[in-house]
Amino acid sequence: MAEKKTVRIVLGVTGSIAAFRAADLASAMGKEGWEVHAVLTADGARFLPALTLAALTHRPVHTSLWEEGEGGRMSHLDLAQTADVVVVAPASADFLARTAHGFAGDVLGAVFLATRAPLVIAPAMNSNMWIHPATQENVKLLSSRGVIWAGPAEGRLACGAEGPGRLAPTTAILGVVKKVLQKGKSR
């Protein structure tokens, strides 16, 4: 009987007030039995300490493009090549813009460009930022490249505004990832 393969998730966390909710998402992914490798951008680290993600994933958190992996390999390439799914939650407007235009100046951008795994983005930002034509053009461009979206949800935002831009609930993001994994199994 073939051994069941462990699902490897790369969880990217960018600079958004919703970053604290990535801790709940990382925990929920671990409860699914998935191996979670967290990537924290510098802006994301302003909202969520790497230590929190390390404690929840039981793995070091990737924060630098220059980390050395096994055998002298670059860790961002190892992450990109071994991921079953790359999830970015929360994804800021800045991340969407940089990613849409192929910027790879940090570890998360490099993983995004180097992977062949499905890409799931869960945006979180102010409503005006979400509906801005520049952001919507970036969403269209990323969608045309196969990005799968989890949200955003509508509701009260940290800034007090009401509208789209809220990070989707953890259960909704997990549901999207499960569908992506199921689709991968049926190929």
Q: What pLDDT digit, counting tens, does each position of 125-140 carry? A: 999 999 999 999 999 9
Which 3 state secondary structure label does DSSP give 53?
helix
Continuous H helices in 83-169: 93-100, 107-114, 127-131, 133-144
Cβ of 47: how many Cβ atoms within 10 Å? 18
pLDDT range class, residue 3, cuts 50, 70, 90? low
Residue with tokens 């055998």: 71
Task: In whole angstroms, give the CA distance from residue 161 to residue 112.
Answer: 31
Return the ∠ at Cα 19 (arms to 99 and 53), rounded to 5°.
Answer: 100
Q: What is the pLDDT of residues 152-170, one digit of tens each?
A: 999 888 888 888 999 999 9
Question: Is 137 within a domain?
Answer: yes
Question: Is 2 within a domain?
Answer: no
Question: Is 9 within a domain?
Answer: no
Q: What is the pLDDT of residues 106-121, one digit of tens each?
A: 999 999 999 999 999 9
Number of domains in the chain: 1
pTM: 0.94
Question: Is 6 within a domain?
Answer: no
Question: Is 91 within a domain?
Answer: yes
Is residue 95 packed enough to be buried (19+ CB in 10 Å), middle (13-18) or exposed (0-12)?
Answer: buried
155: left (phi over 0), alpha (psi -120 to 50) or beta: left
86 strand-pairing partners: 10, 119
Task: In whole angstroms, give the CA distance from residue 68 to residue 77.
Answer: 10
Task: In whole angstroms, give the CA distance from residue 57 to residue 27.
Answer: 7
Question: Is 3 within a domain?
Answer: no
Q: List the domain range (segments joined by +) for residue 147.
A: 15-185
Would you say 14 and 45 are in contact if contact means Cβ atoms under 8 Å apart?
no
Give catalytic residue positions. Answer: 159
Would you say 142 and 96 are in contact if contact means Cβ atoms under 8 Å apart?
yes
The CATH number covering residue 169 comes to 3.40.50.1950
CA-based nearest residue to 179, from 152, 145, 148: 148
